[in-house]
Amino acid sequence: MSRIGKLPVTVPNGVKIGLDGDHLTVQGPLGQLDWKAHPGIELEYDDSAKKIIVKRQSEERQYKALHGLNRAMVNNMVQGVTQGYEKRLEIVGVGYLAAVQGNKLQLRVGFANEVQLDIPSGLDVTCPDQTHVSVKGCDKQKVGQFAAEVRAVRKPEPYKGKGIRYEGEQVRRKAGKAVSK
């Protein structure tokens, strides 16, 4: 049995669970998330113990793989509506900066024109200063996807390290041509 899949997901106080067959709705202080489980996976909610149990219908390899995945998805939803998720990015480079203007993230990262990205609904994007961007939200997938899209605008380059990187990310540096002489 899957080690991750067999663990029940504990539901903290203040979180409402709606279960209709394989459709799960989790509502908490930070928002509401909806999700539909895979057809071979069953979800059960024990209201007295405040736990969600994920079961698989078959012992086939595919269902064994999906068992842990579906349990992790449910756990991420519960954690997202209670604590939320955050990704922080830092911008390195002379003249590189970011700003939030309305529903757009504006990036000046060495191109001729300013890059503007639309902020998806459900996400809170802030710039504590001009060289840092913080992406917060209750949906782990949306937070990670938008942070990856921002980073993809100007990935850190290996010679000087300029670009947009995750906070704490180690950029692998190359020596350059002058080393060989």
C-alpha to C-alpha distance for 132 and 21, rounded to whole angstroms: 43
Task: Establish whether domains 9-82 and 85-166 are of one fold.
Answer: yes
Q: From residue 34, give the alpha-carbon distance in Å to each of 66, 107, 110, 139, 164.
A: 18, 32, 39, 10, 32
pLDDT in tens, 100-117: 999 999 999 999 999 999
Q: Domain 85-166 is of which CATH architecture? A: Alpha-Beta Complex (3.90)
The domain spans of the chain are 9-82, 85-166
Residue 34: helix, strand or coil by DSSP? strand
Percent of the chain with pLDDT over 70: 97
pLDDT in tens, 106-161: 999 999 999 999 999 999 999 999 999 999 999 999 999 999 999 999 999 999 99
According to CATH, the topology of domain 9-82 is Outer Surface Protein A; domain 3 (3.90.930)
In this structure, are residues 164 and 150 in contact, taking their beta carbons and an 8 Å threshold?
yes
Does residue 84 come out as left (phi exceeding 0), alpha (psi in the -120 to 50 range) or beta? left
